Amino acid sequence: MTGGETPGLVGARALCFPSRMQWFAACLGLVAASALGQVPAAELEQVWLDPAGRGSLWVGNGQALRAGQFRAGAAVGFSSGAMRSTNATSLSPLVADRFGLQVVGALGVFDWLEVSTVVPAVFAQRGSDAVPVAPAGLGTPWLHVRVPLWTDPDRPLLLSAGLGVGVPVGTGAALGNGGLSFLPRLTAGHVFRSVQFGVELSGVLRPTVDFSGLTGERLDVIGPQVALAGMVASVASSGPRGEASVRVFVPLSGGRPGVESLFGVRWPVGGVELFGAAGPALFGEPSTPQLRVMLGVALANVPLTRPTCVEGLPYELADCPDLDRDGDGISNAADAAPLEAEDDDGYQDGDGRPDADNDGDEVPDASDRCANERGPAQNGGCPDADEDDDGLVDRLDRCPGQRGPRESDGCPDGDADGDGVIDRLDGCPATAGAPEHRGCPWPDADGDGVADREDTCPGASGPRPNAGCPAAQRPLAVLTRERVVLRERLSFVRGGAALERRSNAGLDALAEVLRSHPDLRVRIEAHTDAAGRPEANLALSQARADAVRAALVERGVAPAQLLAQGFGGERPEDTSGTHAARERNQRIEVVLVPAMAP
């Protein structure tokens, strides 16, 4: 037992490390409990597989999975000198050999959105006296989203942006939990016929963890960093594919900048992809291993990347715009039907589409009497004629030589009774009538020559000058085409909305007119003079209009016939400002609602 170790930790090591590859399940609880109080919780791993694998295993090429595409895989890895002190004279690593696992999965949810995850784990590692870590545990799981920004393979660059979130559920004592972390990244690249390139700018935003209290070196810190990575990989439709990736990173709090490389091979075999990679690192202490090796397998429903554009090999049309899949001499990009050869019939032969129906009238050219002119099948594919140019083709026009509306089957509209209402809209086409009454005459129940619609007394004969009422009768309310005229003013108590008794005669007359014309709808408009506050005048006028309406309803008028609105002093009848003018301005008017006016 060294000076920095507890008896419990020594016992745990004796139990767990007769072999470095012993499974962590039997040891995790014992060692973590011994070391938890001595080792700060941190995430040692800083290199994760790219779940989509569109570029190299490590760095993307700017592409993202399309909707419905997926990739899932797992890789075991070995790191030698996984954690080293920034003290250049220190020969012993703080964490020596480390064996781990990364499980990855990616899915194209939409053509514009890819989601993925990386779940790392440590199943064996060997610490030191300075950093007595737990031998195994869960790493920080990552959840990623990626959005393609430029996807056209003919652009100079493919471009995508992504954001990862590290969930702090890993085992801190095994250096697998660095707290809530974020990984923004911007990836660009290009795919050529036989090789592809990619570059990625990223940053790891996570809490800073200081190990200097254990090692005595002030720069032994693991925290946020920025990185620039690049990759080059071969492109092949089958067989193995080589790749190389390099990552340069700069810590933002402690630690040393470093460079890590990874050289790998990927090989599709029997529906799955086998891969392996290894590479050294320079500097980057304390969180960069001296050597990294990994082996893995993946399953995907999308090829590693765009296959080589060679006619005769399988490829996606969008990936190889310059080829000619149907062999008609027109490139895929310019071919409107890249899977069907042009028919070269002298009609639009440059678009690459075979023209079984040249004029697009759904009549096949073989049976179309006018193959280059659109027309209905009823005309043998020839266009319809319209002799009278009324918009209705002759075969549907009852009067092909006379212009007429479609509603009359192409025949001109007539007006037999000459009342200005065409026959097809005239309710009484043989009798002249009012346009507002659908061409029918207004009824005149009492036969006095005054239509009921304008007759103040529709049940009693009377001359028009007396509004249709008997000559001996002087009606107090007279129906006109626009309003009901009150020959006696309706009076209210001064400054109030209560109707005075002397208004009863006028109200009775008004109610009689409205009851005898149940189809009329009127608006009772109340007005005041301009004296006083406008708000008070408006409220008073509305109250008076409501009072008149209520009085009419009490006299048997249907409520649905009546609207009530106060206008205050907004609409004066006399603007001279005299006392008499103010009296005239305080008035009640009964106006026919326009839609119902005769």
Largest CA distance in the chain: 133
On whether residue 467 sits in a domain, the answer given is: no
Per-residue pLDDT of the chain (598 residues; tens, 9 = 90+): 433 443 333 333 433 333 333 333 333 333 333 333 467 888 988 889 999 999 999 999 999 999 999 999 999 999 998 788 877 666 568 888 899 999 999 999 999 999 999 999 999 998 887 778 899 999 999 999 999 998 876 667 899 999 999 999 999 989 999 899 999 999 999 988 788 999 999 999 999 998 888 877 888 899 999 999 999 999 865 789 999 999 999 999 888 899 999 999 999 888 899 999 999 998 888 888 999 999 999 999 876 655 456 666 566 777 678 788 877 888 888 887 888 777 666 666 677 777 666 677 767 776 776 777 777 777 777 777 777 777 778 777 778 877 778 777 777 777 777 777 787 777 787 777 677 667 787 776 676 667 767 767 877 777 877 777 887 778 888 888 888 888 888 989 988 989 999 989 889 989 988 998 888 899 999 999 888 899 999 999 999 999 999 999 999 999 999 999 999 989 998 888 888 888 888 899 999 986 543 4
CATH label of the domain that carries residue 492: 3.30.1330.60
CA angle 328, 332, 335 (to 5 degrees): 65
Measure the CA–CA gap between 306 and 316, rounded to whole angstroms: 8
Residue 572 tokens, joined? 């004066």
C-beta separation of 477 from 489 below 8 A: no
On whether residue 457 sits in a domain, the answer given is: no
Q: What is the pLDDT of residue 283?
A: 86
Looking at the structure, tell me whether residues 96 and 164 fall in a common domain: yes
Looking at the structure, tell me whether residues 503 and 401 fall in a common domain: no
The residues pairing with 565 across neighbouring beta strands, listed in sequence order, are 525
Measure the CA–CA gap between 336 and 342, rounded to whole angstroms: 9
C-beta separation of 249 from 258 below 8 A: yes
Whether omega for the bond prior to residue 224 falls within 30 degrees of 0, making it cis, is no
Q: What is the pLDDT of residue 5?
A: 42
Looking at the structure, tell me whether residues 389 and 361 fall in a common domain: no
What is the number of other CB atoms lying within 10 angstroms of the CB of residue 146?
27
Measure the CA–CA gap between 565 and 538, rounded to whole angstroms: 9
Name residues whose C-beta falls within 8 Å of residue 213's C-beta, 6 or more positions apart in sequence.
Answer: none
Looking at the structure, tell me whether residues 562 and 415 fall in a common domain: no
Q: Which of 333, 350, 377 is the last residue of a domain?
A: 377
Measure the CA–CA gap between 248 and 201, rounded to whole angstroms: 10
Its pTM surpasses 0.75: no
Q: The domain containing residue 573 runs over which residues?
A: 476-596
On whether residue 318 sits in a domain, the answer given is: no
Q: What is the pLDDT of residue 180?
A: 95
Looking at the structure, tell me whether residues 513 and 540 fall in a common domain: yes
Written as one letter, the residue type at 110 is F
Residue 369 tokens, joined? 């009497």
On whether residue 65 sits in a domain, the answer given is: yes
Residue 465 tokens, joined? 């000058």
Looking at the structure, tell me whether residues 355 and 409 fall in a common domain: no
Looking at the structure, tell me whether residues 400 and 328 fall in a common domain: no
Q: Which of 300, 332, 348 is the last residue of a domain?
A: 300
Looking at the structure, tell me whether residues 373 and 397 fall in a common domain: no
CATH label of the domain that carries residue 62: 2.40.160.40
Looking at the structure, tell me whether residues 248 and 361 fall in a common domain: no
Looking at the structure, tell me whether residues 346 and 426 fall in a common domain: no
Measure the CA–CA gap between 23 and 42, rounded to whole angstroms: 22
CA angle 102, 108, 114 (to 5 degrees): 70
Residue 457 tokens, joined? 């007394």
Q: Cα 287 to chain center, whole Å?
A: 43
Measure the CA–CA gap between 539 and 532, rounded to whole angstroms: 12
Name the residue among 421, 428, 396, 427 with its Cα closest to residue 410: 396
Number of domains in the chain: 4
C-beta separation of 275 from 295 below 8 A: yes
Name the residue among 123, 129, 226, 134 with its Cα closest to residue 173: 134
C-beta separation of 80 from 294 below 8 A: no
C-beta separation of 552 from 514 below 8 A: yes
3-state SS assignment for residue 591 = strand
CA angle 267, 269, 271 (to 5 degrees): 120
Q: How far is CA 541 from CA 295, 321, 490, 536, in A?
A: 90, 78, 13, 9
The residues pairing with 522 across neighbouring beta strands, listed in sequence order, are 562, 592
On whether residue 413 sits in a domain, the answer given is: yes
On whether residue 44 sits in a domain, the answer given is: yes
Q: Are strands 522-527 and 562-566 parallel, antiparallel or unpaired?
A: parallel
Name the residue among 555, 558, 589, 557 with its Cα closest to residue 571: 589
CA angle 138, 141, 146 (to 5 degrees): 160
Q: Are strands 477-479 and 113-125 parallel, antiparallel or unpaired?
A: unpaired
Q: Which of 340, 362, 377 is the last residue of a domain?
A: 377
Question: What DSSP string describes 44-80?
Answer: -------SS-SSSSSS--S--PPTT-EEEEEEEEEEE
Looking at the structure, tell me whether residues 73 and 201 fall in a common domain: yes
Q: How far is CA 578 from CA 101, 329, 572, 574, 575, in A?
A: 100, 95, 12, 9, 8
Name residues whose C-beta falls within 8 Å of residue 391's C-beta, 6 or more positions apart in sequence.
Answer: 406
On whether residue 352 sits in a domain, the answer given is: yes
Looking at the structure, tell me whether residues 277 and 395 fall in a common domain: no
Name the residue among 532, 389, 516 with its Cα closest to residue 459: 516
Written as one letter, the residue type at 544 is R
